Structure 1
């Protein structure tokens, strides 16, 4: 009986790999799982558990990615950057299984801030490529853990907001270079936590670049965001995935600025800014998202 099962397993593995190459993720996962019912602990089983879990990650079936990912990680060496831990960390984070997520990141080899529960650390700045109904926008974000980041740009894509927390993948798909420092671009997996800060737009008269910087600082002091339209660079998706040098565009003159702030505070903040220097003015404030 065992020899028959091994013959069947060989055929199932072939089907699993062929389905994988064709990006038929559900079929591939099903075939791997059939083999694993008989051979959960064979020498190559760690790879099968990993591929099955990864297929479910691509399908956004997080319960299965979590279940199979735990099996893959249990067969992977700790502290050596094994991707089984990374994928488990993502699935555990989606499900808010914080003890498992913490163990997975540690198993990968990442030092976490001390504590229990949700991971809120400072893992540096990065860029995240948001995807909304087939539209893409790269924004700046502060990484809170290996897979979560808080958006600190004011997105121009409808429905996206400053301050929202997104879940991003681990493999960089491009980079942005600012003052010689390289920042990876990661693809968004999902919106993890929405933001309650609406987006407004206003036309500002800015006598000097320092006046615009003063606006940005004023809004930042309140935990809000302000970003001139001139800082938005339009790139096709292919070009966006390359390496690009960027400079923050801070210039004088009349220009539109996106503002992320509570609606009942945005006017008073603009008035405070306008009264803080000669020649400053604003008009045409509107709610845009």
Structure 2
């Protein structure tokens, strides 16, 4: 039986909507799924897809609305819709709704009426997955909220101890001493911390010098990281205009690089200056070349590619192709 023109048009519209979503054109996907919802307002999966499209645009109010509508229309419990509704409710600070969604997913949460405060384990968060996608470790205090435990690059627009909203789908794993932890995409910074990132450039003779600095504590100092080996995609000193010389041959022949690039999470530059001044005074061969404190906003969400997909999903698609 040949489908009617109306049926063919509806099928074509649905196909176009899914194709737009699959290529990362979220605005077009939202427009097309919105048309489908207008035509078939009682079809649950159209509301689900419209809510999903709004989720990845960080449009939390619309995402919550359509995920809740999807649940109302679906005869069976849909965990994916509940997770997306829980994420949107958390972003909006609608704690009653978030708690309701996590409870029906069977997730044990601390009793109460306000924000969820607990220990849901150590994870890795990919900050701004639509941009550079730097990954940092974090402690989950909620089903989808986590406190950052690393000092992020200033360009990320994030800080040590920020509270961030993250997605519910694992997009990889990251090794840590004693095992591996899941990687989740960060979606938004919910509560900025007061620990700014300071980039310090120092010189010293041995790993023991850096270990002494990493173990040093002062009021206002949160954490000190040695970025020299881990931040290797560009010359950090050149990017901040700190005087130094490149000597590739010498670097290749030595086990230790005396020029060190540090990330320090601190509440003030005065605390960083004092920390480094005291460190220099405690040992020979220690030098401070500069302290920078650039401040950046998180990069805006970019459309046109599926940044929310994990590498396992992409590999599976390639095998199916």
Which range, TM-score by smaller chain? Answer: 0.7 to 0.9
Confirm or deny that 1:286 pairs with 2:291.
Answer: yes
What residue number does 2:86 align with?
89
Confirm or deny that 1:255 pairs with 2:257.
Answer: no
Aligned pair partner of 1:266 in 272, 291, 298: 272
Distance 1:231 1:113 in 2: 40
The gaps in structure 2 that reach 5 residues or longer are: 22-27, 234-255, 295-321
What residue number does 2:70 align with?
72
Q: Go from structure 1 to structure 2 and tell me whether the alpha carbon gap of 1:135 and 1:72 turns closer, same or farther (over 3 Å shift).
A: same
Distance 1:132 1:47 in 2: 26
Q: Go from structure 1 to structure 2 and tell me whether the alpha carbon gap of 1:77 and 1:117 turns closer, same or farther (over 3 Å shift).
A: farther
3-state SS of paired residue (1:22): helix
Question: Is the contact between residue 204 and residue 280 of structure 1 (CA under 8 Å) also seen in structure 2?
Answer: no
What residue number does 1:55 align with?
53
* Structure 1 residue 186: Cα displacement: 1.8
Confirm or deny that 1:33 pairs with 2:30.
Answer: no
3-state SS of paired residue (1:189): strand
* Structure 1 residue 256: Cα displacement: 2.0
Q: Go from structure 1 to structure 2 and tell me whether the alpha carbon gap of 1:120 and 1:220 turns closer, same or farther (over 3 Å shift).
A: farther
Question: Is the contact between residue 214 and residue 223 of structure 2 (CA under 8 Å) also seen in structure 1?
Answer: yes
* Structure 1 residue 91: Cα displacement: 0.7
* Structure 1 residue 99: Cα displacement: 0.9
Deviations 1:42-81 (A, max 9, x none): xxx4433322221221333221111111223344756xx8
Distance 1:207 1:181 in 2: 32
**TM-score, normalisation: structure 2:** 0.69
What residue number does 1:153 align with?
150
Confirm or deny that 1:163 pairs with 2:161.
Answer: yes
**TM-score, normalisation: structure 1:** 0.75
3-state SS of paired residue (2:136): strand
What residue number does 1:200 align with?
198
Residue correspondences, number: 260
Deviations 1:150-172 (A, max 9, x none): 22222224233222222222222
3-state SS of paired residue (1:169): strand
Confirm or deny that 1:100 pairs with 2:97.
Answer: yes
Q: Relative contact order: is structure 1 or structure 2 higher (C-alpha 8 Å, sep ≥ 6)?
A: 2
Runs of 4+ in 1 over 6 A off after TM superposition: none
Aligned pair partner of 1:224 in 222, 225, 237: 222
Q: Go from structure 1 to structure 2 and tell me whether the alpha carbon gap of 1:269 and 1:234 turns closer, same or farther (over 3 Å shift).
A: closer
Distance 1:65 1:53 in 2: 4
What residue number does 1:185 align with?
183
Question: Is the contact between residue 198 and residue 287 of structure 1 (CA under 8 Å) also seen in structure 2?
Answer: no
Structure 1 vs Structure 2 CA RMSD: 3.2
What residue number does 1:242 align with?
none
Q: Which moved more, 1:69-78 or 1:100-109?
A: 69-78
What residue number does 1:239 align with?
none
What residue number does 1:138 align with?
135
